[in-house]
């Protein structure tokens, strides 16, 4: 069975790169009838925060990703927080040392930094020269006497390696040129990322690892480490990085591309999933709009390309707008109202807001644009183009409108039609000269949703008040 994992570190909020990795793993697992495992890599005890872990779980669930094994639901291969598995990592370190696959290394951090500086000065990769392998017993005892605490390093004995990447095809590595022996346990006894991820992938029987190309150089280390521990390495696929509009790599620390920020801006989760899926994947038929179920049926890892993806917020807005307009009026009102309440942006009567929200469905790209639209419910309007409503012709329209309102008998759209038909018989203004003053008087703005839809929602008392206010 296919088993994939998403393994975020709780050192910040999920960003667009994280969530694309989660999405591609999730879609791949579902297409293959496999399992999607969530694992929290929180061995960086200084930077890992419980609040980030909780936010990660919450954001994934909001996004529409539900894990088959992981925190809160458990599973056969737990625990799913690395901080709860330190004795397991220690056991594997000891076994590697006993097999001669790893060794205690008494090279200091300062010496390692000196090696890197020298390599950079010679325009070479900053690799470790493996000197700690060959220290004599006397040298080791001297260093112990100086209080130097050892790291544990994995021995690179087969430095040349080839692998088939699920996205990039054949890739070759020479670890002698790249890194040398690498640390799997820090001097304080905690495991490094390399050790923890390999132990977990092995014990959890992960079959496929789909992750960002920034991990490509780690993959040969992980293959060798997994094999040394007796595990069969999974198949690997490395996704291209996501770049900004100017071609620069998007920083993980940019708050504006966090899932939390997308939620705050009022994007629909399935619209965000739709957009993110297209960052590196194409269905091959130029189609751009997908519902969640359609993504699950259509996604194919073989159609993921290795070119860099460009994050385009305007395209995201367009896709979100398409999904908004596909909602029924009731769905739109329910979801928009929930957003306004969650973000504490509901300023007017909830029943009235619920009624008027569908009017704006064709005029917004995301929910955070609604508060400005809802300002038409504020009776203290700031009028655009005051000259339009201050003319003698406009005042005649408003005075006549006040005379007509008590005579109206229609309901819904018919109410506005009845109002306009009677108004046209009594005033000279026609077309734009009639409707623009009406629009500004009733909404304060030159452009907006159809007056026919707003009129019955406002109700005659509010309409009357608006005309009275504008005459003042």
Query: pTM for this structure?
Result: 0.91
Q: Choose the CATH number for 377-469 among 1.10.3470.10, 1.10.10.350, 1.20.1560.10, 3.30.70.1520.
A: 1.10.10.350
Instruction: Examine the pLDDT at 287 and tell me if it is beyond 80.
Output: yes
| N- to C-terminal Cα separation, the chain | 74
pLDDT on residue 278: 97
Active-site amino acid positions: 252
Calpha distance 365→126 (Å, rounded): 48
Per residue in 302-331, pLDDT tens? Answer: 999 998 899 999 999 999 999 999 999 999
pLDDT on residue 254: 61
Residue pair 270/64 in contact (Cβ under 8 Å)? The answer is yes
Domain coordinates in residue numbering, the chain = 326-373, 377-469
How much is the average pLDDT of 99-110? 95
How much is the average pLDDT of 334-345? 97
Instruction: Examine the pLDDT at 135 and tell me if it is beyond 90.
Output: yes
pLDDT on residue 3: 98
Instruction: Examine the pLDDT at 217 and tell me if it is beyond 60.
Output: yes
Share of the chain above pLDDT 70, in %: 99
Per-residue tokens: 378: 């504020």
Calpha distance 424→420 (Å, rounded): 6
How much is the average pLDDT of 361-379? 94
Per residue in 407-449, pLDDT tens? Answer: 988 777 789 999 999 999 998 889 999 999 999 999 999 888 8
> Nearest-5° angle of CA 360, CA 371, CA 13?
110
pLDDT on residue 124: 82
pLDDT on residue 248: 78
pLDDT on residue 255: 61
pLDDT on residue 251: 64
Instruction: Examine the pLDDT at 21 and tell me if it is beyond 90.
Output: yes
Residue 162 pairs with which residues in a beta bridge? 172
Per residue in 74-103, pLDDT tens? Answer: 999 999 999 999 999 999 999 999 999 999
pLDDT on residue 282: 92
Calpha distance 236→53 (Å, rounded): 26
Cβ neighbours for 207, distance < 8 A, ≥ 6 positions apart: 1, 2, 3, 4, 34, 234, 235
**Residue appearing with tokens 């077309």:** 431
């Amino acid at each position: 069975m296919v088993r994939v994992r998403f393994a975020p570190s709780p050192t910040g909020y999920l960003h667009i790169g994280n969530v694309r990795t989660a999405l591609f793993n999730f879609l791949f697992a579902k297409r293959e009838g496999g399992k999607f495992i969530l694992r929290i890599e929180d061995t960086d005890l200084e930077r890992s925060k419980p609040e980030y872990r909780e936010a990660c779980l919450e954001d994934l669930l909001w996004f529409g990703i539900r894990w088959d094994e992981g925190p809160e639901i458990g599973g056969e291969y737990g625990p799913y927080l690395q901080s709860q598995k330190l004795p397991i990592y220690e056991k594997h370190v000891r076994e590697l040392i006993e097999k001669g696959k790893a060794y205690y290394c008494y090279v200091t951090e300062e010496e390692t930094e000196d090696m890197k500086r020298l390599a950079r000065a010679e325009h070479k990769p900053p690799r470790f020269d493996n000197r700690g392998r060959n220290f004599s017993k006397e040298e080791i005892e001297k260093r112990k006497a100086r209080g130097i605490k050892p790291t544990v390093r994995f021995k690179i004995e087969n430095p040349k390696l080839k692998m088939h990447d699920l996205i990039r095809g054949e890739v070759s590595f020479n670890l002698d040129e790249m890194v040398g022996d690498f640390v799997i346990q820090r001097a304080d006894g905690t495991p490094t990322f390399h050790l923890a991820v390999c132990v977990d992938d092995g014990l959890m029987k992960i079959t496929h690892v789909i992750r960002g190309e920034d991990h490509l150089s780690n993959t040969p280390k992980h293959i060798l480490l997994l094999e040394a521990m007796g595990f069969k390495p999974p198949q690997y696929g490395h996704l291209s990085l996501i770049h900004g509009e100017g071609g620069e790599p998007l920083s993980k620390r940019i708050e504006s591309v966090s899932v939390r920020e997308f939620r705050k801006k009022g994007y629909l989760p399935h619209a965000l999933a739709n957009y993110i899926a297209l960052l590196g994947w194409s269905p091959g038929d130029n189609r751009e709009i997908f519902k969640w179920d359609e993504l699950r049926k259509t996604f194919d890892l073989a159609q993921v390309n290795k070119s860099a993806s460009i994050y385009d917020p305007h395209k995201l807005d367009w896709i979100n707008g398409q999904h908004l307009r596909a909602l029924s009026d009731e769905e739109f009102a329910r979801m928009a109202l929930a957003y306004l309440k969650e973000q504490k942006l509901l300023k007017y009567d909830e029943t009235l807001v619920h009624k008027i929200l569908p009017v704006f469905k064709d005029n917004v790209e995301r929910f955070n644009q609604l508060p400005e639209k809802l300002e038409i419910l504020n009776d203290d309007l700031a009028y655009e183009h005051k000259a339009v409503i201050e003319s003698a012709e406009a005042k005649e329209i408003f005075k006549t409108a006040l005379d007509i309102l008590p005579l109206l008998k229609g309901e819904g759209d018919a109410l506005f039609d009845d109002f306009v038909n009677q108004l046209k018989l009594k005033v000279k203004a026609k077309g734009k000269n009639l409707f623009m003053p009406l629009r500004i008087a009733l909404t304060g703005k030159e452009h907006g949703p159809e007056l026919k839809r707003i009129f019955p929602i406002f109700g005659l008392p509010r309409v009357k008040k608006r005309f009275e206010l504008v005459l003042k």
